[in-house]
């Protein structure tokens, strides 16, 4: 609220008129006969602190880094046989960037491949032997069955001649037939008994053959299982050796660009990247280009305003102040104990590759909108980091120290004002009530306690 006041002929007119009197020789009586100078009149505009919605933001300089940057080392010993890229080459994920020559590894791979082939041959042979053993076992089982059938036939034949011999023997005892017939019948009976014994022997032989065939079948199965195991081991060895040999090809881990090439053809490379002082040089350094990350160090006072996912813009001076939009990817959460700053990372899409690692950038992170009490920045005077303004109290201009917050355009957030006790000794800080009356512009010619006549 603006309160404008004027003075006409030394008389205040209008509601809320303010008269500022500044007498010559202030604090002294005018000498007798001297002409008293007229009072100085000022056209003063007063304002009260008002609530305003501030679009709070954090602005800090920073620098651009690649979203991903990787030095590429070798994992095996070998000579650089071929370099497929140069500095600045655009690469795609999976591209072969360099090839090593590792002759002993090549030979070892051939040997392990031969072991795999040999194991496959052994499996084939073992499978055939198992088939033969199974066939022999089935034959042995058939022979046992056949021998058992032959035994039944022999036993039936024996029983027939047994009864025949008994009948003939009775007839001989009655002298119906002669003894020669009985003797011939007895011979047939004995022959039948021998046939039974032979059939039993054949059964035993067939059963023994069956047991032997079963044992051979089990052995053939064990041999086949052992051959399968040897094949598995051989194939695992081969895959392991092949994986080692695959390290002879250095491939791109992502889409990007080669930013440095550090070796030439023919150089002997050893595994690096482990702090080996003798040979810790990578072949290449590559970085991702489709997305970049801007790093900021935000002061402690603004650290609490930064949140993950907040919208951010970055302005790059080398690109004619062009602006890019992105989001806060994350913060370190903890402040650096020495600098009292919070590390903030902002991700920006970079499809055209305009943003390059190493560029200087100025970032602005949007925080939450807040309502604050404000005064015009012109009403505040700052000296040596301390801020002042004049308050109109009881008809006097009172100069007081104030604490300010953020600035936005021509407005500044006012937080607290310093007030003195009645005796003027103790000073305390109080929040602005909104009833204070403050000149729109800081009057540099005023003095603390200068009278203001309403």
Residue 273: the pLDDT is 59
- For 414-438, give the DSSP string: EEEEEEE-TTS--EEEEE--S---E
411 DSSP β-pair partners:
376, 408
Residue 43: the pLDDT is 57
CA distances from 310 to 65, 239, 279, 323, 407 (A): 19, 48, 44, 16, 20
Residue 30: the pLDDT is 36
Residues of the chain with pLDDT below 50 are 1-42, 277, 454
Cα Rg, the chain, nearest whole Å: 55
Look at residues 288, 287, 284, 286 and name the one whose alpha carbon lies nearest to residue 73.
Answer: 284
CATH 1.10.287.620 in the chain: give the residue spans.
Answer: 104-246
The predicted model scores a pTM of 0.57
Neighbours of 32 (CB within 10 A): 5
Residue 185: the pLDDT is 83
Residue 37: the pLDDT is 36
Give dist(CA 319, CA 317) in Å, integer: 5
The CATH-assigned architecture of domain 74-102+248-282 is Beta Barrel (2.40)
Which residues, 6 or more positions from 173, have their beta carbon under 8 angstroms from its beta carbon? none
Mean per-residue pLDDT over the chain, rounded: 83
Long-range contacts of 274-281 (CB under 8 A, 24+ apart): none
CATH 2.40.50.100 in the chain: give the residue spans.
Answer: 74-102+248-282
The answer to whether 361 and 296 have CB atoms below 8 angstroms apart is no
CATH 2.40.420.20 in the chain: give the residue spans.
Answer: 3-56+373-453
Residue 362: the pLDDT is 95
Residue 226: the pLDDT is 92
Give dist(CA 400, CA 391) in Å, integer: 7
Q: At 158, list the tokens.
A: 């024996």
- For 203-272, give the DSSP string: HHHHHHHHHHHHHHHHHHHHHHHHHHHHHHHHHHHHHHHHHHHHTTEEE-SSSEEEEEE---TT-EE---
CATH class, 59-67+288-368 region: mainly beta
Residue 270: the pLDDT is 82
Look at residues 249, 256, 251 and name the one whose alpha carbon lies nearest to residue 68.
Answer: 256
Q: Which residues of 229-262 are buried (b: 16+ CB within 10 A; e: fewer)?
A: ebbeebbebbeebeeebebbebebebbbbbbebe
CATH no., domain 3-56+373-453: 2.40.420.20
Give dist(CA 28, CA 24) in Å, integer: 9
CATH class, 104-246 region: mainly alpha
CATH 2.40.30.170 in the chain: give the residue spans.
Answer: 59-67+288-368
Residue 278: the pLDDT is 52
Burial of residue 45, with CB atoms counted within 10 A of its CB: 0-12 exposed, 13-18 middle, 19 or more buried: middle
């Amino acid at each position: 609220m603006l309160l404008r006041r004027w003075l006409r002929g030394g008389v205040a007119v209008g509601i809320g008129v303010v008269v500022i009197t500044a007498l010559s020789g202030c604090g002294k009586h005018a000498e007798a006969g001297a002409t008293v100078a007229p009072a100085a009149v000022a056209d003063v505009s007063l304002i009260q602190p008002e609530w305003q919605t501030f679009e709070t933001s954090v602005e800090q300089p920073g620098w651009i880094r690649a979203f991903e940057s990787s030095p590429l080392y070798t994992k095996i010993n070998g000579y650089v046989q071929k370099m497929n890229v140069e500095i600045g080459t655009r690469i795609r994920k999976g591209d072969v960037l360099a090839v090593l020559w590792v002759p002993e590894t090549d030979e070892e791979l051939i040997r392990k491949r031969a072991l795999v082939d040999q194991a496959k041959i052994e499996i084939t042979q073992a499978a055939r032997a198992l088939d033969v053993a199974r066939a022999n076992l089935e034959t042995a089982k058939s022979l046992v069955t056949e021998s058992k059938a032959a035994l039944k036939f022999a036993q039936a034949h024996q029983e027939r001649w047994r009864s025949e011999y008994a009948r003939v023997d009775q007839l001989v005892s009655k002298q119906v037939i002669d003894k020669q017939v009985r003797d011939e019948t007895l011979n047939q009976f004995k022959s039948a008994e021998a046939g039974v014994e032979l059939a039993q022997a054949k059964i035993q032989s067939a059963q023994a053959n069956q047991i032997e065939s079963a044992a051979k079948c089990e052995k053939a199965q064990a041999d086949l299982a052992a051959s399968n195991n040897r094949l598995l081991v051989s194939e695992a060895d081969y895959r392991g050796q092949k994986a080692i040999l695959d390290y002879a090809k250095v491939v791109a881990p992502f889409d990007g660009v080669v930013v440095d090439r550090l070796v030439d053809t023919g150089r002997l490379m050893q595994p690096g990247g482990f702090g080996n002082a003798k040979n810790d040089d990578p072949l290449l350094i590559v970085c991702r280009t489709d997305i970049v990350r801007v790093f900021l160090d935000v002061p402690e006072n603004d650290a609490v305003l930064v949140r993950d996912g907040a919208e951010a813009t970055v302005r790059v001076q080398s690109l004619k102040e062009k602006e890019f939009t992105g989001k806060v990817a994350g913060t370190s959460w903890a402040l650096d104990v020495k600098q009292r700053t919070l590390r903030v990372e902002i991700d920006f899409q970079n499809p055209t590759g305009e943003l390059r690692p190493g560029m200087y950038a100025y970032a602005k992170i949007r925080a939450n909108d807040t309502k604050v009490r404000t005064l015009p920045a012109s009403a505040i005077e700052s000296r040596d980091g301390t801020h002042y303004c004049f308050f109109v109290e009881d008809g006097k201009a009172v100069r007081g120290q104030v604490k300010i917050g953020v600035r936005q355009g021509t407005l500044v957030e006012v937080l607290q004002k310093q007030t003195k006790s009645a005796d003027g000794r103790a000073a305390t800080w109080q929040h602005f009530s909104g009833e204070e009356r403050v000149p729109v512009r800081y009057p540099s010619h005023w003095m603390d306690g200068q009278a203001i006549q309403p």
